[in-house]
Amino acid sequence: MRQPASQRSGVKNDHVGAADRSAKLAVVVVNYNGGELLADCIASLLAAVAASAAEIAIVIVDNASSDGSAAAAARLGAVDVLPMSANLGFGSAANAGIEATSSDWVALVNADATVAPEALAAFLECERSVPANVGVVAPQIRFASDGTTLNSAGMEVDELGVAYGRLVGHSAEEANEPASVFAASGAGAFLRRSMLEEVGLFDERYFLYFEDVDLCWRAQALGWKVRYEPQIVIHHQHSAFTTQNSPLKFYHVGRNRIRTLAKNAPTPLLRRHALRMVTNDTLYVLYVAIAVRSLAPLRGRIDGLRDWRAFRAGAQPVEVPLAPAGSLGAALRRRWVATRNSFDAGAQ
């Protein structure tokens, strides 16, 4: 059984979120050695809160940072800082922040992202009209590298279990209409608390990557919808903390992709697409081994397969709408866009 946030952090957190008992929105930021990026994130959030003229709590959940960024945030006085006892990963920290608040909605914003000045006011405006079955609102996320290119307009998952940013690489002007999407990126997502109470929180076994897809997949299976709202704009320093081509990212994406299929993919879907899934992943692993000289994607997938029974146990997957299976070429094009616009692009 997952421990309450107060036990995981080793501190009492009753004060956190006390100001949002009747609030519509609280913002949770997971931090691990965020440095100046965290400072920029907080500054943008404070400006957006002021522009919204609403009561919005900001909670920084700190995964035992050693760079002084959490202490600097605490000195601001305008945010709550919830310390974790160790680096527990994104899911555990995000869950602690969610549990420490009680607003109707919780926004997750990456520490390497900034929100536009009108973003929170735009959410509060659209929240009044979104249907009651919308459990997740996905903002428009742009690469911070140029501020106009889409990182994602919501996320999609195809029949092979490949998750990707919708319209990644396109101009933001091409995604100015609301739309139903499969998921919202953990870099920026607005979660309805009543949805979380029914579906559950993030799976803390993931540590990093794909926990957002898993949560939205579980929500879709229970009838909840995800809605993309373009007027809510976030700028993201893509892969600022893990770097685009790091073994850490390759490993966790590979492992958790397999785990997510184990938890959520119905058996008929797996039977229909098993051969193409294996072929697609084999070709991708070979590409990274040659182009980046890394076997981390392979190690991640092997460990994911080792976990298959544990993640499949007790699962009752149901059919949900998925995008048509894409090509490896399309995936590599998306990867090229992400690499070109990543925080560490100069080192590529």
CATH of the domain at 91: 3.90.550.10
* Direct distance between the N- and C-terminal alpha carbons of the chain, in angstroms, rounded to an integer: 42
pLDDT at 113: 97
Look at residue 298 and tell me if it is in a domain.
yes
- Closest residue by Cα to residue 32 from 257, 298, 240: 240
pLDDT at 14: 45
Give how far Cα 198 sits from Cα of 92, 219, 224, Å: 18, 8, 10
pLDDT at 239: 85
- Last residue within a domain, chosen from 113, 131, 160: 113
pLDDT at 51: 97
Look at residue 236 and tell me if it is in a domain.
no
Look at residue 318 and tell me if it is in a domain.
yes
Q: What is the mean pLDDT of residues 31-36?
A: 96
d(CA 181, CA 133): 13
Q: What is the mean pLDDT of residues 103-125?
A: 98
Rg (CA), the chain: 19
**Quick one: pLDDT band at residue 2, thresholds 50, 70, 90?**
very low
pLDDT > 90: what percent of the chain? Answer: 87
Look at residue 230 and tell me if it is in a domain.
no
- Last residue within a domain, chosen from 113, 128, 153: 113
Look at residue 234 and tell me if it is in a domain.
no
Please name the residues in contact with 297: beta carbons below 8 A apart, sequence gap of 6 or more.
Answer: 250, 251, 253, 254, 284, 285, 288, 289
Please name the residues in contact with 48: beta carbons below 8 A apart, sequence gap of 6 or more.
Answer: 115, 116, 117, 118, 119, 120, 121
Look at residue 214 and tell me if it is in a domain.
no
Question: For residue range 218-249, what is the model confidence (pLDDT) as tens digits?
Answer: 999 999 999 999 999 999 999 888 888 899 99
- Which residue range(s) make up the domain with 286? 247-347
Question: For residue range 61-111, what is the model confidence (pLDDT) as tens digits?
Answer: 999 999 999 999 999 989 999 999 999 999 999 999 999 999 999 999 999
Look at residue 23 and tell me if it is in a domain.
yes
Q: What is the mean pLDDT of residues 50-68?
A: 97
Q: Which long-range contacts (CB under 8 A, 24 or more apart) does 289-295 make?
A: 292/245, 292/250, 294/245, 294/247, 294/250
d(CA 281, CA 160): 10
pLDDT at 343: 85
d(CA 107, CA 200): 16
Please name the residues in contact with 212: beta carbons below 8 A apart, sequence gap of 6 or more.
Answer: 155, 183, 184, 185, 186, 189, 202
Over 50: is that where the pLDDT of 125 sits?
yes
Torsion, Cα 108 59 110 141, to 10 degrees, reads 50
| Total domains in the fold of the chain | 2
pLDDT at 22: 59
pLDDT at 23: 81
Report the mean per-residue pLDDT for the chain.
Answer: 92
* 169 and 193 Cβ atoms separated by less than 8 Å: no
Question: For residue range 182-220, what is the model confidence (pLDDT) as tens digits?
Answer: 999 999 999 999 999 999 999 999 999 999 999 999 999
Number of residues written out for the chain: 348
SS3 220: helix
Q: What share of the chain is helix, strand, coil (3-state, %, to 5)?
A: 45, 20, 35
pLDDT at 16: 53
pLDDT at 344: 74
pLDDT > 70: what percent of the chain? Answer: 93
d(CA 224, CA 17): 26
pLDDT at 176: 97
- Last residue within a domain, chosen from 86, 113, 140: 113
- Closest residue by Cα to residue 38 from 113, 104, 147, 149: 113
Over 60: is that where the pLDDT of 17 sits?
no
Look at residue 130 and tell me if it is in a domain.
no
pLDDT at 1: 34
pLDDT at 13: 42
Tokens linked to 214: 């898993």
Tokens linked to 182: 């499969």
